Amino acid sequence: MKINYDKIADTIYIYLNNKGKVFKTVKMTDKMLVDVDKKGNVLGIEVLGASSQIKQKQPAEFKIKIPAFV
Q: What is the pLDDT of residue 63?
A: 61
Determine contact, residues 43/17, Cβ cutoff 8 Å: yes
The verdict on pTM exceeding 0.75 is: no
Which residue range(s) make up the domain with 35? 2-52
Q: Which residues fall within 8 angstroms of residue 26, CB to CB, at 6 or more apart?
A: 33, 34, 35, 36, 69
What pLDDT, in 10s, does the model give residues 7-34? 999 999 999 977 889 999 999 999 999 9
Counted domains in the chain: 1
66 assigned to some structural domain = no
Strand, coil or helix: 28: strand
59 assigned to some structural domain = no
65 assigned to some structural domain = no
